[in-house]
Structure 1
């Protein structure tokens, strides 16, 4: 399964921060973003707005275009891997999972 864009962007931001040897706190202070929220963005759990991404990139002194380009290239690599994988490995469907569809109940309105 292809990663979500927010996960890939988070990885790119984390990699840039770690390459600089900076802490989450340092970057969050410079970007004026809460430490917890920055952590969530880096882990791909929160989808950052363009304003927030711009602030984080400014704090990291990395152009937003570079972050988006790197994320796009990473997604492209993942898509190529999936395209080459057998169909059965591309899906994570557990065939033992049962789905129960309840009966439709019609109610009379008085």
Structure 2
């Protein structure tokens, strides 16, 4: 199961690390508790829209860009976990027709 808070946290962490910044730095810039930001990055807390906007400001990214990255991650996970459909049902239907004809 995909948890949006996990994917959001991963994107926030990757964005922060790509900028070479620490949790303390971003938390200070965003005026967010260091511990709470850490929990959001780990996916253990849900971020409100206001808090998420503050963190985006602190990171210097737009909310739409951040959510686009989250969307891409969710789509990738969905693709990786999508069930593979096999033509088994079609084969069974033709087998049943053959068996009833015999």
Residue of structure 1 in register with 2:97 after alignment? none
Q: How is 1:18-97 mapped onto 2 (pairs within 5 angstroms)?
A: 18-84=17-83
- Change in Cα spacing, 1:81 to 1:35, as seen in structure 2 (3 Å) is same
When you count helix as a share of all residues, which structure comes out higher? 2
Query: 2: CA distance between counterparts of 1:58 and 1:24?
Result: 14
Query: 2: CA distance between counterparts of 1:45 and 1:38?
Result: 10
What is the Cα deviation at residue 3 of structure 1? Answer: 2.7
Residue of structure 2 in register with 1:7 after alignment? 6
What is the Cα deviation at residue 46 of structure 1? Answer: 0.4
What is the Cα deviation at residue 73 of structure 1? Answer: 1.1
Which runs of 4 or more aligned residues in structure 1 lie more than 3 Å from their structure 2 counterparts after TM superposition? none
Residue of structure 1 in register with 2:94 after alignment? none
Between the two proteins, the alignment pairs up a number of residues equal to 85
Structure 1 spans left out of the alignment, 5+ residues: 87-110
Q: Which has the larger radius of gyration?
A: 2
What is the Cα deviation at residue 84 of structure 1? Answer: 4.2
Query: 2: CA distance between counterparts of 1:72 and 1:51?
Result: 19
- After superposition, the CA RMSD in angstroms is 1.3
